[in-house]
Chain A
């Protein structure tokens, strides 16, 4: 057991620190479009030095980083207080899925513009009536009898982050209506810039439109944009979802740490550290943040050593979301009314953190996954 990083890992960390030091994008401008353009520029700078997706193979513009190096990258990105790249879904989800299931033509066509943020990606999985139940998807894709190498898509998607900026959508649609539910799905790469695709922003609890509804009415997708074969959508989608749960833990863990440190400093400035209730709660939050960090590290070792995630890997998202909410709530309690005015950063955290236990798999779904896949408990008929 050795929790220090190897010389090579430490060197990688030093390189990153130096790079972030020399590459400061400056303050983020106000406004949705301006701030997004700023994040695209930031990603281009990362990509220029092959830091946009360190875990991608070198041939595609990454660094072939190990999972530990990738974790170090996200830790340092967070520590430097630099933003995630604009095309985070393209980098973490679409790219790796295309690498796994794509044809050579698809890899050649799509991977490079993902890295440079030239083409932004969104994820068209969720639907209003399906939630976490992919097998219940209703969006339909049928071949056009007049053009048999083209599909015509009709349906609705929801919670589509970044759709307003996206060129491409990872779209899962039903293509076989007779097959058992999850066998009739196909994974498409859909061009968002066509008639038939309408994006409507969904304003969320914070007042910001982070995600959208997607209305698809007669959109067209050529055959060559099927990923992983017709009828194979379930399997391809699961690959995407597995990628979703691995990448961000270290970025989020560092951000949580920073927030907590800021709260502790704020408590100190207000002279509240001697209050036993405050000290107790801050100690508790520190404990939970450390448990998250250490459990994420254990997960890294398990994957590096045994090739598959261990039980700890299923727990970090749950730990993070719960702790982040508790932290934001305690900040509001500690700071009082000042934390409840719009524009105050703690007010934002208080509201935004409610999404943490819903986005990227609700806590309830995570518990089901832990119960069934890790603990081997029987599954109730009909449950997800």
Chain B
């Protein structure tokens, strides 16, 4: 058993961390959030590096790597709070790549891999990231069936969501428009996308923890760094626990996605990852604000961007409550098929 990244994967993580530190500083994030625009230079750079296609098969123009590599990038983009359509695009690509028909893959994946087009994935009537600019939207209906809809066939209304570092919209499409994800296992694509969202949440959580540690080591009260007081240090320990727990669940989900038939399947790991990462990041970001005191509540400090991203990501592709109930159903079915 080896529950660690390979050397190549560590290298991807380091490279992404370094690059985003210079290209997506919090100053840049603030600029994007306050102007409601993405930095086109950042997106072109991500595209040039081939990041949107990292988990797309080579035959469709992607890099042909796996869910673990994708999770690494999502985590780092979350850590940097990058203002870009990356997550939305890879979510659509995961859904179509693992859950779509061959025709759907041929039609949409090359464009998503090359960054020529962007994508979106979300539930009808919910918040769907970056739908207004997306060429293709994978829309999950109230019946749970996901359809692949061209932007032109969808009714998209931009929404001013609490996370201004990313665009959001509400999307509707008449049942006659688009076609259902046509692969053998459409849910597999949604589950893989769910794990990618969890990975972004882990990055947000890690950033919230690190920002808080830096702050409480520096900020003094009564001549003592506030991080020495147990009311604060124990909160930080809790933040580490929540972050690491979410990380364990999310990396497990990504591994399960890549292990395929040799692994534990996808539904349970995906719901586990999303429930753990949603709860973890929301709590950690909330604790970050608290540990920063009054300053943490101001617009001037940056911690609120993390809190907002965590809240919106936590609502994407099923809240923790939705995934907890799914877990309960899956586990009870496994334990006692006759009863369930």
Contact = CB atoms under 8 A, between A and B. Distances in A.
Partners in one complex: yes
Interface of A: 1-6, 9, 68, 261, 264-265, 267-269, 273, 276, 278-280, 282-284, 286-287, 290-291, 294-295, 297-298, 300-302, 305, 311-312, 315, 318-319, 364, 366-368, 370-372, 374-380, 383
Interface stretch (B105-113, B156-164, B297-305, B326-334): B326-334
A371 B332 contact: no
Given A68-B1, A383-B230, A283 B225 contact: no
Given A291-B248, A300-B1, A312-B248, 10 more contacts: A273-B332, A280-B325, A284-B275, A286-B272, A287-B327, A294-B251, A295-B244, A297-B1, A300-B3, A367-B230
Contacts of A380: 224, 228-230
A260 B327 CA distance: 13
Contacts of A294: 3, 248-249, 251-252
11 contacts: A2-B1, A273-B329, A287-B272, A287-B324, A294-B249, A294-B252, A298-B4, A368-B233, A374-B237, A377-B236, A378-B224
Interface string B1-38: 11111100100000000000000000000000000000
A378 B1 contact: no
B240 interface: yes
A1 B248 contact: no
Contact of B272 (A290, A298, A364, A371): A290
Contact of B68 (A1, A305, A377, A383): A1
A3 B252 contact: yes
Interface of B: 1-6, 9, 68, 213, 216-217, 224-225, 227-230, 233-234, 236-238, 240-241, 244-249, 251-252, 254-255, 258-259, 262-263, 272, 275-276, 321, 323-329, 331-332, 335-336, 339-340
A305 B236 CA distance: 27
A150 to B, nearest CB: 43
Contacts of A3: 1-3, 252, 255, 259, 263
A290 B3 contact: no
B185 to A, nearest CB: 21
A261 B333 CA distance: 11
Contact of A376 (B213, B230, B251, B258): B213
A283 B325 contact: yes
Contacts of B2: 1-3, 301, 305
Contacts of B332: 264, 267-268, 273, 282
Contacts of A4: 1, 259, 262-263
Contacts of A287: 249, 272, 275-276, 324, 327
Contacts of B225: 377-378
Contacts of A283: 275, 323-328, 331
Contacts of B323: 283
A277 to B, nearest CB: 10
Given A273-B328, A283-B326, A371 B233 contact: yes
Given A280-B324, A283-B323, A377 B336 contact: no
B241 A318 contact: yes
B234 A305 contact: no
B233 A319 contact: no
A333 B262 CA distance: 38
A2 B3 CA distance: 6
For the complex of A and B, the 10 pairs showing the least CB-CB separation, nearest first, are: A283-B324, A371-B233, A283-B328, A294-B248, A283-B327, A370-B237, A268-B339, A291-B245, A279-B328, A301-B3
A265 B244 contact: no
Given A301-B4, A367-B237, A379-B228, A273 B248 contact: no
Contacts of A269: 339
B321 A364 contact: no
A372 B315 CA distance: 34
A295 B245 contact: yes
B255 A1 contact: yes
Contact of B249 (A273, A290, A312): A290
B213 to A, nearest CB: 6
A368 B248 contact: no
B54 to A, nearest CB: 16
A279 B324 contact: yes
Contacts of B3: 1, 3, 294, 297-298, 300-301
A298 B1 contact: no
A372 B232 CA distance: 12
Nearest to B253: A294
A269 B225 CA distance: 54
Contacts of A311: 240, 244
B47 to A, nearest CB: 27
Nearest to B323: A283
Contacts of A371: 227, 230, 233-234, 236-237
B26 to A, nearest CB: 21
Contacts of A68: 1
A319 to B, nearest CB: 7
Contacts of A319: 241, 245
Nearest to A9: B1
A375 B325 contact: no
A291 B237 contact: no
A379 B232 CA distance: 12
Contacts of B259: 3-4
Nearest to A370: B237
Nearest to B232: A377
Contacts of B321: 280
Given A286-B331, A297-B1, A374 B249 contact: no
Contacts of B276: 287, 291
A377 B335 contact: no
A368 B230 contact: yes
A36 to B, nearest CB: 34
Contacts of A268: 332, 335-336, 339-340
